[in-house]
Structure 1
Amino acid sequence: MHLLRHLLLAVLWLCPHLAAAQTVEFRLERMRPGLEASEKSVLSGALDGQFDAVAQATLNTLDRDTWFRIIPSSDWRSDSPPVLVVQQTRFQRFTVFPSGGGRPTTLSALQADFPGGQTRGVLIFPLGDGFRAGQPLYLRARFEGSPTLLVPRLSITSYDDARATAIMHVRLSASCFAALMALALCAMCVWLIVRERLFILYAFLLGCQGLYVTLITYDAYALPGLGALVRYGVRPTFLFAVLACIAAVSFARIMTNADQIAPRIAWLFRAQQSLFVLLLLVMLATPYRAIATLSAIGNVLIMASTMTIVAAGVAGWRHGSRASAFFLLAWLVMQGFTFARALCETAGLQSSNLIVYGFPLSMVGSGILLALGLADRMREMRAALRDAQARAHTDALTGLLNRRCILERLDAARTQFRDNGEPVSVLFVDLDHFKAINDHHGHLAGDACLREASRRLLATLRHSDAVGRYGGEEFLVVLQGADRTAAAAIAEQLRAALASAPVQAEGAQIDLTCSIGVASTGSDALSGEDLIARADAALYAAKRDGRNRVALAPDSSLVAPDPAQNEGAHIDRLSHPPLCRTPR
């Protein structure tokens, strides 16, 4: 309930005017092309016969100076004065001449001296007191800069409704810009720590999208330092759009692992990236009036890259990549609006409010979903790293610590003994008659015996004890905090556990016993190597006395190791301690 309340408050904040806006229907007429008309002749009505009705309240193909006549269908019946609202403009300078000889108003979304208190994305023209049904008002659209594929939309509404629309426009633009920039900043901070290339691409992508959103809504020019971009017209918008596409293609190729799972799609990504770079270079060197043509080419490339990105996401998802599934979901949300917007601009169609305002919101939603996808990818990478570390520390057959790791544990136990005198004991465990088991039952049966012996050792030992496979059928147990007497008792428990029941392997019941040699810091051992050697000697005594028994190394007094002893060299000596070559 709390979440629903917060969402409702957010919607109310973004959309302060939810009631149905009061509008007036009107007939839109356009002066026939090719006519040279002065302002005086048009406003006098002398050329009214040269206007033809248009089907929709949109201003199509504004590639030259054009006159429009707007004829209201009804009188104005609201206390709030009527205004003409023009949206989705870019390179046109509009002048509105109200009915009854009212004062004309001239506005352009890209004019440097834009009046304060208004937003460039929603141009508001007062219509004065002479607004009457059937009384025409005139609109002059003067072409400035480059031809554009955008179709400006007209509406006649109240000043209060127009202001509410402008407020919603500004709040939506500012919120999307702030959200995208916040996500980009967070990604940059993460990149500074983990140095993962995906995060810098993600930050660059969201940064370009944020600037693009605030440029297409014209609110960027009100931000500190960005007002100077007005003089460059549409070039900054085009620049950040293409840079976002380049970053998106690179991000998609890495996120979906296309190079490994779909080489052909990866080739398409590289080709599209090269085309976007070429398009950007051409735009920088192209005359201003040709940018609309480049924009159309860019829209076609965007639609093609959208389909390629979706194909890559599906391919990664089918290969079991959770990151690709997140990416596909995020990209479908945004690319649906991107595709629709590009299609409307390319075809010269009017974009609905759903597309106009859903487009920046979809970028924010996709950014959040992509952040979840990146987090999931990092989780998978950490899991893979932990798995690799575990494989590096464990024996593949038995799951116990491997030789080097158990020797490191012994070295750590000796450090504790050196620091606080805590006793350390070592058990050298060797399976009896293991060669005969391999010879009579096969190596698979021998492997099964090793795995079962490992399971019984782990089940019997304490949590503080460490056991590792030393080599072949030999195991090394490190008992920290156990003196000679405690170690002997634990060794007897291990021997009994291994001999407690036959092992079922390869259709046979195999009796399993072991011999154990025990050495502790109560002996003359001055190093880990000495402890292992003494435990090995005790193991030989157990073998010699008939196997399936525990033998203890002779006890003697011990002086704690010298703290100045080179511990770094010690572990290298433990890596290959001497082994007795006598058959066991």
Structure 2
Amino acid sequence: MAFVLSADAEPAPPRLPALHVAALKPLPQTPTPDQVIHGDVDAGFAPLPTTHTPNAVEKQRWYRLTLDRDWHEESAPLLNFTGAMYVHITVYPPPDYRPHELWFAQTDLPARFSRHHLALELPHDLRAGQPIYVQIAADSFTRQIRAEIVDMATYQAQDLNHVRLTTLFSSVQFTMILAALCLWLVLRDRVLVYFIGYTGCQLMNQLLTSGELYELPGGRLLIPLGTHAPWLFTALSAPLLLSFIVEFCELRVITPRGARLLGAMRWPYLVIAALLCFPFAERMHLLASAYNFWFIVSLLCALAAVILATLRHGRQARFFLVAWLPQVLLTVVRVSQVLLSLDLPRWLEYSMPAAMAFCSVVVTIGLADLSLRARRERDMAHHLADHDALTGVLNRRALVRRLHDAMAQARPLHQPLALIFLDMDHFKSVNDRHGHQTGDACLRAVAEAIADELRPSDSLGRYGGEEFVAMLPGTTQDNAMAVAERIRHSIEVLQVHARGNTLQTTVSMGVSSLLGPLDTVDDLIARADAALYRAKTQGRNCVVAHASLTAVTS
């Protein structure tokens, strides 16, 4: 945030008359406006070497402006002041020298221009040496205010470009805030709150600095706060930014010490924000300097933490570094310019909001990427919760749940539903002779072979150990027997290659089907299990249906 503001207006074309500024020397008694405009104190005005008109703390100042030659341009002359944010300026122009109040937050008159400069149209027949008196009110901070006279057409073109740029940058930030708000309504993630908070505070400060906020609904409510308003939003944006960096860049995981340091550096900003609410803060130059110094220190510490997280392969840190680095560099230049009381060049004036808009866009993309990764992790967690980690098929809990759903759908429509209970033959001997890793390879190969014989609408789950259950909705018991026979045959000819061994295995299967409206999931599984037991007792590597207890053998 800047507490000393000034801006270099573009140099006037050579064809325009030059503006000369004279300042009224301090007098024993402050003159009245009538005395000044009637020329009673003209002898006390001394020429200034530049068009800067420094105002004084606790004391108003008078200036006299004159042209070096008559105004003969096609459009009227326009007097404008830069660097006069929240400073009251009263202009007494010829010929009648009636007072014209210029103020950054003025809303009582229809706006002819933006609030980029304080501007007033002068008479078209302005003559050389004809005085224009300017009264600049006392202010809490000494500011370098610059007066300039340009033709109306040139000023309007420059002002229109200014409005276009500021509207573009503000609209981009506002759009990104809305996008983050929509994400927050869905995800309720704390990092989104920090982003909305710090970006919103930056946008409010930007709109207050440009004066455009006072044109928006409700903007007039901030007028009584004066300079407190931009100070407050700037002081609040800093701790929100540090909190966002810690959360977004995952510093607590990647660089815990950096996260703790940035967390501790937030508290002085809250103290400064509280002090800024008091009237005496306007007269505390030390408070402004302390804020600027602490802001640079915390900015550099945050940048170092983000760079360290980037070097440690932090994906979100890379996003933020790309987004934030231009803004950091421009902020350091801006704060240095303020601390050194230098003029604000036009490139820096528009580079700052452009960098903020760029940062908002890239960070929003990073937030979307973070949300996408969170969604993938959530989907993966759901998948792992419902699937067997070894074979990739459904686990027992998920299979039973699907079986409940399938039975609830089949009963009202009187549709068939079949179940195949499978058990690998002599699987314990495979583990004992070749080891559990080879046994795991057999389980995976058998699960794949079973799945290859099923439809997309069917479900396959690992019921426990070497037992599998296949659910076939819309399938009669006879069709299920045919499917089971295909599965039996494909596993019988299957060769499993694992750890230098080539193995073959077989499965025994029991088939059951839904009998009536009072049938339960436990009943269906119990009948299939009973049929499987019969298949085992009949020599294994066969399929047995529960109803007929007939077997189909190889």
Provide Cα deviations, 1:392-436, integer angstroms capped at 9, x if missing partner: 001111111111111112222222331222212211111111111
CA gap of 1:80–1:40, structure 2 versus 1, over 3 A, is closer
Deviations 1:152-195 (A, max 9, x none): 34433212222333344445445555554454455445434433
Matched, 1:142 2:145: no
Match of 1:53 among 49, 57, 76: 49
- The percentage of aligned residue pairs carrying the same residue is 30
**Aligned counterpart, 1:107:** 102
CA distance in 2, matches of 1:92, 1:70: 18
Cα distance in 2 between the residues matched to 1:459 and 1:548: 19
Correspondence 1:441 to 2:434: yes
Which residue is equivalent to 1:218? Answer: 211
Is contact 2:420-2:512 (8 Å) kept? yes
In structure 1, distance between residues paired with 2:93 and 2:407: 95
Aligned positions of 1:347-496 closer than 5 A:
347-496=340-489
In structure 2, the CA distance between the partners of 1:91 and 1:536, relative to structure 1 (3 Å rule), is closer
Q: CA deviation at 1:468?
A: 0.9
Assess if the C-alpha contact under 8 Å between 1:112 and 1:231 holds in 2.
Answer: no
Check 1:116–1:460 CA distance in 2 against 1; reply closer, same or farther (3 A cut).
closer
Aligned partner letter, 1:263: P
Cα deviation for residue 368 of structure 1 reads 3.0
Number of aligned positions between the proteins: 532
Q: Which residue of the partner structure matches residue 265 of structure 1? A: 258
- Hey, what does 2:73 align to over in structure 1? 78
Corresponding residue of 1:90: 85
Is contact 1:516-1:538 (8 Å) kept? yes
Where 2:85 maps in the other structure, the secondary structure is: coil
Contact 2:419/2:469, CA 8 A, preserved across alignment: yes
Which of 117, 120, 135 is residue 122 of structure 1 equivalent to?
Answer: 117
**Residues 91 and 146, structure 1, Cα contact 8 Å, conserved in 2:** no
**Alignment-derived partner of residue 542 in structure 2:** 549
Residue aligning to 1:159:
152
Q: 1:53/1:462 Cα in 2 relative to 1: closer, same or farther (>3 Å)?
A: same
Q: 1:119 to 1:465 in 2, by over 3 A?
A: closer
Question: What is the SS of the residue equivalent to 1:146?
Answer: coil
What SS class does the counterpart of residue 426 from structure 1 fall into?
strand
RMSD: 3.6
- Distance change (3 Å), C-alpha of 1:262 and 1:62: farther
Report the CA distance shift for 1:60/1:527 in structure 2 as closer, same or farther (over 3 A): same
Aligned pair 1:299/2:295, yes or no?
A: no
Q: Which residue of 1 aligns with 2:273?
A: 280
> Which residue in 2 is equivalent to 1:253?
246
Instruction: Normalising by structure 1, report the TM-score.
Output: 0.80
Task: String of CA shifts for 1:214-267, please: whole Å, max 9, x gaps.
Answer: 211123333343335333320111112222223222222221122222222222
- Name the structure 2 match of 1:13: none
Aligned-residue offset at 1:479 = 1.4
Aligned partner of 1:326 among 315, 319, 325: 319
- Relative to structure 2, which stretch is displaced further, 263-272 or 288-297? 288-297
Equivalent residue number for residue 533 of structure 1: 526
Provide the C-alpha distance between the structure 1 equivalents of 2:17 and 2:200, rounded to a whole number of angstroms.
Answer: 41
1:53 is paired with a residue of what secondary structure?
coil
Cα distance change, pair 224–552 in 1 and its aligned pair in 2 (3 A): closer
Cα deviations by residue, 1:310-357 (Å, 9 ceiling, x for unpaired)? 334434444555443333333334444433332222221111122223
CA shift, 1:450, in A, is: 1.0
Counterpart-to-counterpart distance in 1, 2:510 and 2:414:
23
Cα distance per residue 1:100-137 (max 9 Å; x no partner): 997775533256766743444312245553454xx596
2:234, 2:165 → 1: CA distance?
A: 19
Partner Cα distance (1:309, 1:249) in 2 = 7
Q: 1:432 to 1:166 in 2, by over 3 A?
A: same
Whole-angstrom CA distance in 1 between matches of 2:546 and 2:343: 92
Q: Is the partner of 1:287 in helix, strand or coil? A: helix
Structure 2 CA distance for partners of 1:443 and 1:332, relative to 1, 3 Å: same
Residues in 2 aligned to 1:527 and 1:127: alpha-carbon distance in whole angstroms: 93
Distance 1:354 1:524 in 2: 79
Q: In 2, Cα distance between the equivalents of 1:160 and 1:497?
A: 87
Residue range with higher mean Cα deviation, 402-411 or 135-144:
135-144
Relative to the length of structure 2, the TM-score reads: 0.84
The CA distance in 1 between the partners of 2:15 and 2:190, in whole Å, is 51
Q: Is the 8 A contact 2:55 2:61 kept in 1?
A: no
User: Contact 2:493 / 2:504 at 8 angstroms: preserved in 1?
Assistant: no
The C-alpha deviation readout for 1:257-289, integer Å capped at 9, x for no partner, is: 222222222223222221110001111235154
**Runs of 5+ unmatched residues, structure 1:** 1-17, 557-584
Between the aligned partners of 1:139 and 1:310, the Cα distance in structure 2 is 49
* Correspondence for 1:314: 307
User: Quick one: distance in 2 between partners of 1:197 and 1:524?
Assistant: 50
Q: Secondary structure at the match of 1:469?
A: strand
Cα offset, 1:196, TM superposition: 2.5
| SS at 1:239 equivalent | helix
SS of aligned partner of 1:519: strand
Structure 1 counterpart of 2:139, which letter? G
* Contact persistence 1:69–1:136 (CA under 8 A): no
Question: How far apart, CA to CA, are the structure 2 residues paired with 1:28 and 1:249?
Answer: 47
CA separation of 1:93 and 1:527: change in aligned 2, threshold 3 A: closer
C-alpha distance in 1, partners of 2:409/2:265? 61
Once the two structures are overlaid, the 10-residue window that deviates more, 535-544 or 362-371, is: 362-371
Contact 2:65/2:134 (CA < 8 Å) preserved in 1? Answer: no
Contact 1:180 1:209 in 2 (8 A): no
CA contact (8 A) 1:517 1:540 kept: yes
* SS of residue matched to 2:461: strand
What amino acid sits opposite 2:87 in the alignment? Q
The alpha carbon displacement at 1:471 in A equals 0.9
* Ranges in structure 2 where 5+ consecutive residues have no aligned partner: 1-9, 550-554
Task: Report which structure shows greater RCO (CA 8 Å, sep ≥6).
Answer: 2
Code of the residue aligned with 1:272 in structure 2: it is: M
